[in-house]
Amino acid sequence: MPVIADIGRSIATVAEAVGPAVVGVGHRWAVGSGVVVGEGMVLTNAHNLSRSGVGVVTPSGDLVDAEVLGADIDSDLALLRADVGEHTPVPWSGNGSPGLGTPVVALGNPGGRGLRVTLGFVSGEDRTFRGPRGSRIRGSFEHTAPLLPGSSGGPVVDLDGRLAGINTHRLGSGFYLAIPAGEALRDKVDALARGEVPQRRRLGVGLAPSHVARRLRRAVGLDERD
């Protein structure tokens, strides 16, 4: 079956080229994957971070401490600095979200337990899911390459090994939703590298003691009330 053999060789070629840039991310109970996108810089999902610290497992199996350069919780993205060795960063495709039917290869290294590589196809576009704090993340694409739990943060690449997206949300059927690796994602990664975290407006209610409330009312010209 020459077609199947050709597919197998394509997957092996992608795994050889991209696999060394796929790392494990986690600390204690938080387990995920990440991808090297620059010298000493690892892109992953924000939900893979832990309050007690985060570590990166290199492709060679070494656990190293990582510094969080920036984390955008509402976009579920985080950029880490870690000594992952001299691994070639994954090149960006620059094509935005791949279209329906596009063959893709998904890679993960769940918590550093070893590289996983699977083949699939883009099965949905412009999908929406909720991030760690409940905010809606729009514009993701769905693909059929099955991966184990803990593969979030790993890359989705095209058959040339170029970054097409970041696996972020695992569906119950085994499919994954991925954030496309277009200009919007590159801009966010560049901002995180500079330590810039977006500050979004939030609506809430503040409670204050009565004497503080009276001063606040007086400050804006309102009548005093108990």
The residue from 27, 47, 87, 169 that is catalytic is: 47
Active site residue 76: yes
Residue 97: count other Cβ atoms within 10 Å of its Cβ: 20
210 is catalytic: no
Residue tagged active-site, from 72, 75, 76, 140: 76
Type of residue found at 115? L
Known catalytic membership, residue 211: no
Q: Which of 33, 97, 151, 152 is catalytic?
A: 152
- Extract long-range pairs of 190-197: CB within 8 Å, 24+ residues apart: 191/70, 192/69, 192/70, 192/71, 192/72, 192/77, 192/78, 192/79, 193/38, 193/41, 193/69, 193/70, 193/79, 194/70, 195/69, 195/70, 196/70, 197/70, 197/71, 197/72
Catalytically active residues are 47, 76, 152
